[in-house]
């Protein structure tokens, strides 16, 4: 049995189990072949502009990871993996190690020589999450380039779900409620996504802040919206069900302040629940649960 088999074709070469049934130049002793696992790690050919952007970075690192940017560059170049985004949190072990029984999360504690590398895979979906195997492979790759005094932790992103979004708008003539709901959902999903979000569309920033006004602004930019009367939402650390699993199996239960839903609103009535700003920790990003979006049309 071959432990590894390389095949071209970029991302299109990531075929499923049983698809590979012949070799180009098989040895005489081999009669039949079949892939018992899916093909992974395909990458499309690099464009000239991408090569021009990468070349200066390769010359800068010189085979050794010292700065945060160095670790980002090497992470993105991990062989056999498609890493869409890498963020480095210097002087930090994974925040899960900082949990106490008290309220809130201690994000002020630093550890000299330590850093956390957050890996976001190039996959579809509202919250791209690396597998344990992917994290181990990135860690082994970075271990070749780190200084002996550097403590490297490779971790997945922690996602905060924004859900139960209720939007009240006055539409422009000719736009139905159904059309506006789809357009608003698409706008929010794109802007607050870890890979496509933010003003520059390079991904919503880790450790960023989401103001209630940010939600209002994105809804107002939707074609067909004339006036935004009200926007409200909730957020917590729960994820959507994956492959038919119950959502409880993917909850972010390790972070105390994400286990309780909070209300993102423009007017604080109950200080224990209502907030006007969602402040993300340095390893946190967002995803929009658009299945819970409600659009109300104002006459």
> Which residues, other chains included, contact 3 with Cβ-Cβ below 8 Å and sequence gap of 6+?
none
Q: Which CATH architecture has domain 48-155?
A: 2-Layer Sandwich (3.30)
Can you give the pLDDT at residue 108? 59
Maximal C-alpha separation, the chain: 77
- Whole-number Å distance between alpha carbons of 208 and 292: 23
Report how far residue 274's alpha carbon sits from residue 194's, in angstroms, rounded to the nearest whole number: 25
Q: What are the sequence ranges of the domains in the chain?
A: 1-45, 48-155, 158-297
Start-end of H helices in 63-143? 68-76, 132-143
pLDDT tens-digit series, residues 58-111: 666 667 899 999 999 999 999 989 999 999 999 888 865 545 444 455 555 688
Could you tell me the pTM of the whole model? 0.81
145-176: pLDDT as tens digits: 999 999 999 999 999 999 999 999 999 999 99
What confidence score (pLDDT) does residue 32 get? 76
pLDDT tens across 217-256, in order? 999 999 999 999 999 999 998 776 554 444 444 555 557 7
């Amino acid at each position: 049995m071959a432990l590894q088999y390389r095949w071209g074709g970029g991302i299109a070469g990531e075929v499923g189990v049983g698809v590979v049934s012949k070799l180009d130049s098989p040895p005489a002793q081999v009669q039949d072949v079949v892939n018992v696992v899916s093909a992974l790690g395909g990458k499309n050919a690099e464009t000239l502009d991408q090569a021009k952007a990468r070349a200066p970075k390769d010359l800068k690192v010189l085979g050794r990871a010292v700065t945060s940017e160095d670790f980002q560059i090497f992470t993105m170049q991990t062989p056999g993996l498609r890493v869409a985004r890498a963020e480095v949190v210097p002087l930090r072990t994974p925040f899960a190690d900082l949990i106490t029984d008290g309220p809130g999360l201690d994000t002020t504690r630093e550890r000299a020589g330590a850093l956390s590398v957050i890996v976001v895979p190039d996959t579809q979906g509202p919250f791209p999450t690396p597998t344990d195997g992917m994290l181990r492979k990135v860690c082994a790759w970075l271990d070749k380039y780190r200084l002996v005094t550097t403590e490297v932790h490779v971790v997945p992103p922690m996602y905060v779900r924004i859900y139960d979004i209720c939007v009240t708008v006055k539409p422009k003539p000719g736009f139905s409620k159904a059309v506006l709901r789809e357009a608003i959902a698409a706008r929010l999903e794109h802007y607050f996504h870890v890979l496509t979000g933010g003003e520059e569309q390079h991904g919503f920033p880790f450790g960023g802040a989401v103001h209630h006004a940010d939600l209002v602004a994105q809804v107002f930019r939707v074609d067909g919206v004339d006036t935004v009367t009200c926007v409200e939402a909730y957020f917590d650390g729960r994820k959507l069900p994956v492959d038919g699993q119950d959502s409880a199996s993917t909850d972010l239960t390790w972070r105390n302040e994400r286990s309780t839903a909070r209300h993102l609103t423009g007017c604080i009535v109950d200080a224990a629940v209502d907030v006007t700003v969602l402040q993300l920790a340095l390893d946190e990003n967002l995803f929009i649960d658009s299945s819970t979006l409600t659009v109300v049309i104002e006459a």
